[in-house]
Amino acid sequence: MSDRDSAVAASVAAGVAIPDARQAAEDRGFTPPARLRRVVVTHTDVGAENSPDPVEGAYVLRVAPAETVEVTTSVEVCATGVVRSLRVPVDPVRTAELAAAQAAVEALDGGGVLRGLRRIMAQRDLDALRRAHRAEAERDAAGWAARCARAYEPYVRAFAADDATPPPASAPVLGIGPTNTAGQGHAWARAVERQLPGVRAEAAALTSANTLGYPSDQPIGTDEWLSTRWQLGRLAQVLDRYTHVLAECGMPAFGRLGGSWVDTDLAELRAAGITLGLVLYGSEARDPAAHRARVEFSPFDPRYELTHALQAKVDRLLPILRELDVPTFVATPDLIADVPNAVWLPAALDPAEWRAETPPLTRKRPVVVHVMTSPFLRGTARIEPTLRRLHDIGLIEYRRILNRPAAELPALFADADVVLDQFACGAYGMTSCRSMAAGRLTICYLHESATEHLPADLPIRAADPTSLADVLEQVVAEPDAARALAARGPAYVAEHHDGRRSARVLADFLGVAAE
């Protein structure tokens, strides 16, 4: 066992405060923002209920033996402190017996005399098991305490400290995550670091949602996301490292420690003095029924099962997000119709990465590319018959881009003449930004719910599923006009999507002045 492991084990046994990264930073001459000090209190008494009394200015982790085979956790938050009760299985055999006995009692819930008598007997069996377990632990108190310490140690270690160097007190640190959709969490993090002096930012990304390989500062595996041990470590990291958290898609800040959505983390974040904001991308906030009522080419046909699944998600989640009453940003401006208090946070990218040397539309048969990252939401089924017909008659060369790694996309865009974004939702997204940065002719369906928030000089050729064929035929017939429109794309992206505007939008949230 290392010196650090021995120290952690000793702190578990003693039930004392454990140093966090703030103290380590102070020892090195830093003065990080005030944070809740973290305290661990351990118990070895079996089945005892511990009063969750918050300690002023502290985040208390109370650890005790569990009666279930799984680690369980609950939290109590007040204005001055937080108490999280953690139950950890210590004796697998006894824990399994207790869990089975508890399940037998719960299975007999309900009315009826016979059921009530059986419930009384089952409760007596459970009580007898608890007494036997407690007596066994008391007979070998030292051995039981050692077993508890070994069981608790990984969770206390995770909760103990974050090894990252905290920032000076005056410098905000922003944590973004956990989806990194289209690499935007990472791009916004880099943008605020470049454009807002002194601000630091990090982006976390669930690997299950980042299958195309976009960069992130902290990849999160699915097993980690669901692990109580990892969640406690993430909690420690957030408490030590961040002054602001931007929750993507309304997902929680501490993994599934509190629940499925970030509303369960809000009280803890506020108690720790950490500011929460939301950034929404689409399906978690776009109301299919309302969208269908206002957008002519809406993809949310009630005949489709996916429409009902997305409607159920929004009906459940959108009221939660609206009631949070925290700063809210949306990745595309059409979402303001569903979240009226939201602010558009423009997508960010590095224009140099997408710059193409060759001009578009110099070939007799232009290459037309459609990126199919989400065919349902992009209206792919509505436009592909048109594209295949024009391909078959030799007017265009149609190419589909489906699930290609992020690193391959710049070359694929550079080899295109025309890039098609979406033809259903009504707003341009990352595909259009990349296409404009590459100087390609960009065609997209734009609805007024988006265009009312967009600059008037947007260099995108508007089309919808019914007009796309005519637009492409005109592009082929008049390539000079199309090239001129495409040539305006790089300057537009440099002004609105190179990260500077995104950083300005986030400056107020971070409490700093934008240059």
Is 70 exceeded by the pLDDT of residue 16? no
- Please write the tens of the pLDDT for every residue from 170-225: 689 999 999 999 999 999 999 999 999 999 999 999 998 777 888 999 999 999 99
Is 70 exceeded by the pLDDT of residue 163? no
Question: Closest by alpha carbon to 94, among 73, 65, 62, 52?
Answer: 65
- Please write the tens of the pLDDT for every residue from 274-325: 999 999 999 999 999 999 999 999 999 999 999 999 999 999 999 999 899 8
pTM of the entire structure? 0.86
Percent of the chain with pLDDT over 90: 71
- Please write the tens of the pLDDT for every residue from 413-472: 999 999 999 999 999 999 999 999 999 999 999 999 999 999 999 999 999 999 999 999
Q: Are 95 and 67 in contact (CB under 8 A)?
A: yes
Q: What is the mean pLDDT of residues 390-400?
A: 97
**CA–CA distance, 118 with 111 (Å, rounded to integer):** 11
Write down the residue that tokens 């269908």 correspond to.
292
* pLDDT for res 133: 85
- Please write the tens of the pLDDT for every residue from 212-232: 888 999 999 999 999 999 999
Three-state DSSP state, 97: helix
Cβ neighbours of residue 208 closer than 8 Å, sequence gap 6 or more: 222
- Please write the tens of the pLDDT for every residue from 325-347: 899 999 999 999 999 999 999 99
Is 90 exceeded by the pLDDT of residue 137? no
* pLDDT for res 79: 77
**CA–CA distance, 267 with 164 (Å, rounded to integer):** 24
Q: Are 47 and 134 in contact (CB under 8 A)?
A: yes
Q: Are 178 and 191 in contact (CB under 8 A)?
A: no
Q: Where are the beta strands (DSSP E) in 126-172?
A: none
Cβ neighbours of residue 347 closer than 8 Å, sequence gap 6 or more: 182, 184, 187, 331, 429, 430, 433, 497, 502
**CA–CA distance, 319 with 315 (Å, rounded to integer):** 7
* pLDDT for res 112: 87
Q: Which amino acid is at 421?
A: D
Task: Give the dihedral sign, CA 246/200/232/80.
Answer: negative
Confidence bin at 27 (pLDDT 50/70/90)? very low
- Kindly state the tokens that stand for 245: 């958290």
